[in-house]
């Protein structure tokens, strides 16, 4: 099976394997959302402990990105990816047998740590296999698959919850890890070019880091990713509790509601993918135009969130409207921001993807923690996280474009 970066006819199973692997952590996070209130109750946790179940996973997930990126650059993609999937599976197995909140938090942390290998190494593999417009198209396909995971996973989690109880989603996550391990082992070759592995030097980490932080476009993209995931994962960590505690929804119905709320995200990400397929995303200017459209939606989310935060009781429709508009903006922005951040990082694609993953999920873990720390059995903490995230995204976007120092701005001109 060829890993030639110029080969336009990559085997279908290779693409499927990459999509499955990049999606397993998103599945593990989102499939458990409907069960969070029941998990908290069954394990004797406090009101905010349900949020922390997701926070623990995200913390491990954030901490694993850079180490896995470095190891993938040094020892090759496939071996390190398989090691991460094994760790993910073991953590999932432990979480399915947890008997108290501390045990659940440690198990989810380990699972998140192993889960970091998937997205960081798959992004590096995408960079190995393609470049230029082809990279944008493949990255959009990968990101588009992630767009549907939050839509499908809560529905799947609700179904599993109905038949197997609150432990069911955690069992599903480690079974998925086993399947992904087998698929990668059988169908995915080593994609790193022979001779591309950097020599082992003590200052290699510092050089890789300097290369990333001195590339202004990569920094700009990383900042935008941080803003996106601060709001998104802050919202996802607490939405089940808000729907349960504030609006009175119970059990499996929560998953159906979350899935419905995520439909516009899937739709906007699909629009982005269609733009890539039609050749619209062949130039930096066209990528920038979709980002700008996403910014307009974030501005709308800011306005609605401000209105909601000043109301004594937030109507359900307004709570949903803030979430939907935010997610549409994210769907239009996610894949294109990822492409921007990877630009110019061919020599250290694994490390660059590791930094991207760490900053975006680290910001998400911070948003998740904030949603838990300020949770008072109202929608306030979730709305606050999304307001801060949307405002930050808009500020970072216009700051980068108007400064005259961002490479993307230099290529596409002032907007």
Q: Evaluate whether residue 283 is within a structural domain.
A: yes
Query: Tell me, what's the pLDDT at 349?
Result: 61
Report the percentage of the chain scoring pLDDT > 70. Answer: 79
Q: Mean of the pLDDT values across residues 87-109?
A: 94
Q: Evaluate whether residue 7 is within a structural domain.
A: no
pTM for this predicted structure: 0.77
Check: CB of residue 82 under 8 Å from CB of residue 412: no
Query: pLDDT tens, 22-38?
Result: 888 888 988 988 888 88
Say how far residue 356 (Cα) sits from the centre of its chain.
Answer: 10
CATH number of the domain enclosing 88: 1.20.1250.20
pLDDT at 193 over 90: no
Check: CB of residue 411 under 8 Å from CB of residue 284: yes
Query: Tell me, what's the pLDDT at 267?
Result: 81
pLDDT at 9 over 50: no
Q: Evaluate whether residue 61 is within a structural domain.
A: yes
SS3 content of the chain, % helix, strand, coil (to 5): 80, 0, 20
Structural domain including 355 reads: 14-189+204-412
pLDDT at 6 over 60: no
Query: pLDDT tens, 347-400?
Result: 666 567 667 777 888 898 899 888 888 888 888 889 999 999 999 999 999 887
pLDDT at 409 over 60: no
Q: How far apart are CA 367 and CA 371, in angstroms?
A: 6
Query: Tell me, what's the pLDDT at 326?
Result: 95
Q: Mean of the pLDDT values across residues 159-172?
A: 91
Q: Name which of 406, 262, 291, 356 is nearest 66 in CA terms.
A: 356
Query: Tell me, what's the pLDDT at 133?
Result: 62
Q: pLDDT band at residue 120, thresholds of 50, 70 and 90?
A: confident
Q: Evaluate whether residue 159 is within a structural domain.
A: yes
Q: Evaluate whether residue 198 is within a structural domain.
A: no
Query: pLDDT tens, 201-243?
Result: 445 666 667 767 676 777 888 889 899 999 998 898 889 889 9
Query: Tell me, what's the pLDDT at 347?
Result: 60
Q: pLDDT band at residue 414, thresholds of 50, 70 and 90?
A: very low
Report the percentage of the chain scoring pLDDT > 90. Answer: 29
Q: Mean of the pLDDT values across residues 125-138?
A: 68
Q: Which two tokens stand for residue 384?
A: 């606050």
Q: Evaluate whether residue 195 is within a structural domain.
A: no
pLDDT at 10 over 60: no
Q: Name which of 43, 21, 22 is nearest 107 in CA terms.
A: 43
Q: pLDDT band at residue 49, thresholds of 50, 70 and 90?
A: confident
Q: Evaluate whether residue 404 is within a structural domain.
A: yes
What's the number of domains the chain is made of?
1
Higher pLDDT, 219 or 171: 171
375-376-378 Cα angle (round to 5): 95
pLDDT at 124 over 50: yes
Query: pLDDT tens, 294-352?
Result: 899 999 999 999 999 999 899 999 999 999 999 999 988 887 787 777 666 556 665 67
Mean pLDDT (the chain) is 81
Q: Evaluate whether residue 5 is within a structural domain.
A: no
Residue pointed to by tokens 């169908």:
187
> Three-state DSSP class for 23?
helix
């Amino acid at each position: 099976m060829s890993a030639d970066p110029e080969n336009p006819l990559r085997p279908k199973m290779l693409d499927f394997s990459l999509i499955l692997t990049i999606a397993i952590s998103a599945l593990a996070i989102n499939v458990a959302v409907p069960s969070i209130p029941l998990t908290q109750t069954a394990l004797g946790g406090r009101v905010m402990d349900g949020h922390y179940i997701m926070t623990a996973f995200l913390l491990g997930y954030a901490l694993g990105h850079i180490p896995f990126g470095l190891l993938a650059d040094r020892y090759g993609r496939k071996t390190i990816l398989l090691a991460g999937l094994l760790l993910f599976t073991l953590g999932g197995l432990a979480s399915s047998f947890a008997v108290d909140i501390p045990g659940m938090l440690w198990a989810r942390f380990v699972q998140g740590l192993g889960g970091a290998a998937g997205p960081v190494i798959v992004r590096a593999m995408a960079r190995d296999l393609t470049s230029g417009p082809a990279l944008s198209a493949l990255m959009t396909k990968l990101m588009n698959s992630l767009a549907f995971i939050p839509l499908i996973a809560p529905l799947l989690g609700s179904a599993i919850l109905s038949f197997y109880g609150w432990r069911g989603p955690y069992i599903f996550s480690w079974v998925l890890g086993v399947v992904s391990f087998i698929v990668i082992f059988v169908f995915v070759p080593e994609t790193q070019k022979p001779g591309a592995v950097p020599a082992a030097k003590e200052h290699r980490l510092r050089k890789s880091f300097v290369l990333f932080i001195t590339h202004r476009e990569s920094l700009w993209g990383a900042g935008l990713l941080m803003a996106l995931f601060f709001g998104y994962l802050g919202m996802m960590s607490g939405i089940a509790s808000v729907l349960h505690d504030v609006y009175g929804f119970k059990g499996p119905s929560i998953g159906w509601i979350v899935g419905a709320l995520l439909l516009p995200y899937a739709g906007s990400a699909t629009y982005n993918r269609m733009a890539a397929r039609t050749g619209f995303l062949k130039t930096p200017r066209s990528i920038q135009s979709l980002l700008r459209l996403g910014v307009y939606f974030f501005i709308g989310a800011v306005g609605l969130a401000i209105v909601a935060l000043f109301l004594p009781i937030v109507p359900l429709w307004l709570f949903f409207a803030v979430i939907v508009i935010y997610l549409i903006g994210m769907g239009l922005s996610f894949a294109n921001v990822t492409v921007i951040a990877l630009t110019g990082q061919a020599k250290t694609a694994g490390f660059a993807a590791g930094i991207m993953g760490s900053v975006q999920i680290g910001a998400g873990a911070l948003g998740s923690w904030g949603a838990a720390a300020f949770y008072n059995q109202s929608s306030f903490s979730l709305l606050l996280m999304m307001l801060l995230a949307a405002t930050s995204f808009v500020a970072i976007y216009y700051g980068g474009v108007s400064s005259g120092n961002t490479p993307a701005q230099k290529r596409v001109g002032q907007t």
